[in-house]
Homo-oligomer: A and B are copies of this chain.
Amino acid sequence: MKTVECQGKDLLGAYGVPVPDRKVVTSKSLLGLCAEDCSQFPLPGMVKAQVPFGGRGKAGGITEADTPSELLSRASEMIGSDLKGTEVRSVLVEKRAEILDEIYLAVTFDAGSRAPLLMAGKEGGVDVESSARLRGEGFHTARIDTALGVPPYLKRLFAKKLGIVDAAAFGDLVESVYTMYRKKDALLVEINPLAVTPDGLMALDAKVDLDDGAEFRHRELFERLREEQKHLIEGEKGEPQRLAKEYGVDYVPLDGDVGVISDGAGTGMLTLDVITEGGGAPADFCEMGGEADARTVARSMEVVLANPDVSVLLITLIGGLTRMDHMAEGIANYLEENEVGPPLVIRMCGTKEVEGKRILEGLGIDTYDDHSEAVGRAVELSRGG
C-alpha cells in the first residue's frame, strides 16, 4: 500500500524522525474554516498537493505561502485543480525549512541479497525520482543483516560520506527509519529530500510503501490509512474500480476496448501483449490468481463488464490451481443472472477442462483451445469483425 506524503510523515514522525509542523486540509470549506484562526497553519509555509504519484513539484503541485491570505488563495486554487490528469483532493501546509543541504535516504529490500538495503545519496531533491536510477557517484548502498540491524559504524560511515556533521543525529534518524521499515513491514521508506537545516535534519518528503502481504499484522493501520485516503486522494472512482475494490479483484484499468480476464499473471500479461501486437487494445488487466473459484469468475466478469468501453470480453483460462469446472460454473452463474452485451470469447484448457467445457456447452458456448486463436478472434470482434 502506497501512502501519501502526509501519511508517510505521520508514520515517520511516530518513530522519531524530525518532520516539519504541518496541517492537512481536504476541502475548500474546511480550509476557510481553519483559516479563520490562521495560527493553525505553520507560516511561512509550503503548500503541497497530496497526490499518489511523484514529480508533482515540476507539474506545479508545490507552492509557497508567506501570509494567511496567500495561503488561502494558493491552497484554494490547488484543491480541485488537475495535476497530471488527477484531481487534487487535499493539500499539506507545512512550515518552510531553511535548507542548507539536501540528501536522499531510503530503506528498501534487495532481491539479490534477500536483505534490507540502506540507500543514501548526496544529491537529494526533485531530480532524484526513481530509486532504480540511483546508481552514480555520491550514492551509497549497504545491505543490512536483519539479525544485527544497522551497525553504529555504518551510520557514522554514511554520515561521513554524505558530509553530515551531526553524525549522532543522523544515526538516530537512520535507526528510526530502519525500525519503522521493519516494524511496519514496509517495502520502501524513502525520504527525499532529507534536509540539513539550521535546526538539524528534517524529512521534507516521505514515500512509504507498505507490504500488502503483511496486512494481517497491521489491520488497524491499513484500515486507518485506507479511510484517510478516501478523503485525501480518491475522487469519484469508476464503477469497475469501485467494484474491484469491494470484491478484492486484481483489476488494472487500461485505455482500450478488449475486456480481459485471465487466471494467471503471466498469461494475463501475455494476453495484453498479443492483443496489442495484434492491433487490438486491451481495456484492462484482470487476473484472478490461482485460488479463484466460481464466485471469483463471476465477480471478475461483473467488474470488467462495468466498463462501458468494453466491446468484447476475452477470458483466457489455463488451469493449474484453478479448476475449469469451477470456472465454467462461475461463467454460467453470471450469465444466468445478467444480460451481457459484448460478445464473449473464452479460451479454456487444463485441470478439469472436460467437465468445464461440458458445462459451457450446455449453455451453448464454444471454447477455444489455442490462446492465439482466442486472442485473434477477440481482436477481430473488437474491430467489428
Interface residues of A (CB under 8 A from B): 145-147
By beta carbon, the residue of chain B nearest A147 is B147
Provide the residues of chain B in CB contact with A145, threshold 8 Å. Answer: 147
Determine the distance from Cα of A145 to Cα of B147 in the docked complex, in whole angstroms: 9
Interface of chain A: mostly helix, strand, loop or mixed: loop
- Closest Cβ of chain B to A327, distance in Å, is 35
Determine the distance from Cα of A147 to Cα of B145 in the docked complex, in whole angstroms: 9
- Closest Cβ of chain B to A383, distance in Å, is 56
Determine the distance from Cα of A145 to Cα of B148 in the docked complex, in whole angstroms: 12
Provide the residues of chain B in CB contact with A147, threshold 8 Å. Answer: 145-147
Per CB-CB distance, the 3 closest pairs between chain A and chain B, nearest first, are: A147-B147, A146-B147, A145-B147
- Closest Cβ of chain B to A314, distance in Å, is 43
Determine the distance from Cα of A147 to Cα of B147 in the docked complex, in whole angstroms: 4
Provide the residues of chain B in CB contact with A146, threshold 8 Å. Answer: 147
Determine the distance from Cα of A385 to Cα of B150 in the docked complex, in whole angstroms: 63
Determine the distance from Cα of A147 to Cα of B149 in the docked complex, in whole angstroms: 10
Determine the distance from Cα of A145 to Cα of B145 in the docked complex, in whole angstroms: 13
- Closest Cβ of chain B to A214, distance in Å, is 16
- Closest Cβ of chain B to A100, distance in Å, is 34
Determine the distance from Cα of A147 to Cα of B115 in the docked complex, in whole angstroms: 12
Task: Enumerate 3 A-B pairs (CB-CB under 8 Å) in ascending A order.
Answer: A145-B147, A146-B147, A147-B147
